[in-house]
Structure formats: structure tokens, C-alpha cells
Amino acid sequence: MNDPNKNKLVYSTPKKWDYKLSDLLAVNGIRFITGLLLLIMMFVLGKIFIEGSGSLSWSFLTEFPTNNMTEGGIGPAIFGTVTVLVLMILMAVPIGVCAAIFINEYAGNTLWTRIILLSVNNLAGVPSIVFGLFGLGFFILFIGQKLDEVLQTGLLFGQPAMLWASATLAVLVLPTIIVSTTEALKSVPFSQRAAAYGMGATKWQTIRDIVLPQARPGILTGIILAISRGAGETAPVLFLGCAFFLPDLPIGYINMGLFSIPMINPTEQFMYLSYHIFILATQSTNPMLTKPIQYSTTLVLIILIVALNLTAVIFRYKFRRIIDEIRGVSS
């Protein structure tokens, strides 16, 4: 017997006429439920897109809100979101990536690191409002007021401000960054490290020149997802310096002789896109009049998040290809 299909499992699907009626109903029922869910999703996004795209324009993105928030744009909210996220990344990425390098490259696979990774993983699921509580109690009321006492600055640090909001968001996204970086480092095969050692590289040289470059797209995926998470969060920044309306951008000037250099002042309050949506939707003086603005602001936030997530998907795809290539060569 020389059957070519001998070692191949043949998928013996029952013939169409063998199906019982109930089977047909159930399978199509599942199809129907999935379709229904997709329709609901389409409806949510479509409604926001149709209602929001009407008043979306360049001036809407750059202008200040005017006339008691019923007209004008969302310029300061976008500015505040970007600056807070940049500060957050500056704080969270170095600590998070270095911590992941330590956990994966130096600490080794011990019970202790497994416990740490498990709790870090679980911290990513702790409600964001709890992080907000922590930010208020620890950063503002504890560290901020201590700083004011020591530096004799009156009430500068001990109040809600951009600095503390981004610090809180940094703590919030730290688990995401640590977990994704550890995953990225883990997927670089050990043979790569062994080859580097064999060439006489030290541990640090191996990490710097071999492991990190290969893991880079994976690490970037995690960072982009962290930015997207930070941009979408509202609850933790609710009482950390988000403002309903600010007449000026949070910019301070440093005078240096003839020049004055504009700098972002992290001790000021700020406007935040997601908080702006919340405020417009719940505490607006005239909710009907601001409806187009509400939809447009929501659309801007959704576009921002979707763009970030798509970038992350592309990076992840790139990363998988790199790793597959390495695996193909080394195995």
C-alpha cells in the first residue's frame, strides 16, 4: 500500500446532507451573533464618524475653545495630551525597559522573577482610578508637599499639575512596558547570545549590539501600545490637574539675556483630550449646542488611538518577520 495520504489526517467533515437541522441553526446562529456584534461596532464608529467629521477642520484642531466652550477648537487639549504623553514616555520607558532587561537578561528564570512578573502582569489589570488615587495621595500630597517644604517654593509642587499627571500615567503604563519588553527580549533566541559570547563579546556588548537591536521593533510595539493606553485613560488624571478650560497653553518662558526660550511648564494645569470629551458630555452649559464639538473631539481621539494601534500592529508584524528570519538562520 503506497498511499500518499497515509500520514496525513483527512478532515472527515460530515457531508452537507448529514447535518441535522439543529446543527445548521446553531452554526448559523453563531454567525448571526457575530454579525450582529460587528454591526453594533460599525454603528458606534460610523455614528461618531458621520456626526464628527462635519465640523472637523484644521482650525478646529488648533484653535482655543471660545464662547463658554460652545464654539472654537480643541487646540490646547491636543497640546496638553501630547506634552503629558511625552513626559510620561520620558519617565516610564527608561525605567521599564531597563527593568525588563534586568529581569530577562540578568536575573534569570528564578522563582523570584516569576513572582515579580506575575504581579507586574496583574498590576496591569488594577483599575486605573486606583492609580489616580495613588497619584493624588503619593505624588501630590506626599512628594509634592515635601518638595515644597524642602525647596521653600510655597505651593508649587503640592498641587495638581502636568508633572504629577504624567508621573501617574507613567506608573500606570509601567507594567505594560515591562511585560512587552520582556516578551520581546525572550523571543530573541539564545543561540544569538551564544554566538556573540563565542565571538568574545561581554554580556553588556551582547545586550547592546545583538539583543536590543533585534528586539527593538518588539519593544517599540509595547511603547506605542503604552502611549495609546495613556491617551485613552481619563480616570487617573481626573483630579491630577486636568482643567476644564485654560486661557493659555502651559508654557513658561526662560529669560536668557536677549532671548526668551519657551519651555513647557510641568507645574501648570493642562487640558486633556479624553477629559475634554468627559467635560463636554456631562458638564456643558448647553449639551445640545456643543453636540458637534463633542462628536468631533471624540473622533479626533479615536483617530489618534487607531493610528497608534495600527502602528503597533505594523511594528509587531515587522518584529515577527525579523524573529522568524533569525530562527530560520540559526536553527
Partner 1 sequence: MDENKIKSPYLKKNSRRREWKEKSIRFFFMLNGYTAVLFLLLIFIFLIQEASMVIVDSGILDFIYSHKVLEGGAEVRVFEWYPTSEDPRYSLIPLIMGTLMTALPATIISSFFGIAVGIYLAEIASSRTREILKPVIELFAGIPTVVMGFFIIAVVATFFQDLFGFLNRLNAFVASLGLSLIIIPIIASLSEEAMRAVPRELRMASYSLGATKWQTIIKVVVPSALSGISAGIILGFGRAIGETMIVLMATGNAAELTVDIFRSVRTMTATIAAEMGEVSHQSSHYYALFFIGVVLFITTFILNLIASLVLGKMNKNRKFYE
Nearer to partner 1 by C-beta: 21 or 258?
21
CA pair distance 272, 244, nearest whole angstrom: 9
Q: Which residues contact 76 (CB under 8 A, 6 or more apart)?
A: 64, 65, 246, 249, 270, 271
Give me the phi and psi of 259, to 5 degrees please. Answer: -95, 150
Nearer to partner 1 by C-beta: 171 or 271?
171
Nearer to partner 1 by C-beta: 225 or 322?
225
Nearest to 86 by CA among 230, 287, 291, 268: 230
Q: How far is the CB of 169 from partner 1 (least distance, A)?
A: 13
As separate numbers, helices (DSSP H) first and strands (DSSP E) second, the chain gives: 12, 4
Helix (H) or strand (E) holding 259: strand 259-264
Q: What single-letter DSSP state applies at residue 292? A: H
Nearer to partner 1 by C-beta: 104 or 265?
104
CA triplet 178, 179, 183: central angle to 5 degrees?
Answer: 115
Q: How far is the CB of 311 from partner 1 (least distance, A)?
A: 12
CA distances (Å), 319 to each of 142, 209, 215, 217, 328, in order? 42, 17, 7, 5, 14
Nearer to partner 1 by C-beta: 295 or 315?
295
Nearer to partner 1 by C-beta: 31 or 146?
31
Q: How far is the CB of 264 from partner 1 (least distance, A)?
A: 24
Residue 71's SS3 state is strand
Q: How far is the CB of 257 from partner 1 (least distance, A)?
A: 38
Give the CA dihedral 121, 122, 128, 134, nearest 10 degrees: -100
Q: How far is the CB of 255 from partner 1 (least distance, A)?
A: 35
CA pair distance 248, 242, nearest whole angstrom: 14
CA pair distance 178, 190, nearest whole angstrom: 20
Q: How far is the CB of 249 from partner 1 (least distance, A)?
A: 22
Nearer to partner 1 by C-beta: 264 or 312?
312
Pairing of strands 259-264, 71-72: unpaired
| In 187-290, alpha helices (H) | 190-198, 203-206, 212-232, 273-283
Q: How far apart are the first and last CA of the chain?
A: 35
Amino acid letter, residue 292: P
Nearer to partner 1 by C-beta: 99 or 264?
99
Nearer to partner 1 by C-beta: 115 or 263?
115
Q: How far is the CB of 309 from partner 1 (least distance, A)?
A: 5
Q: How far is the CB of 259 from partner 1 (least distance, A)?
A: 36
Q: Which grid cell sits at 2?
A: 503506497
Q: How far is the CB of 145 from partner 1 (least distance, A)?
A: 9
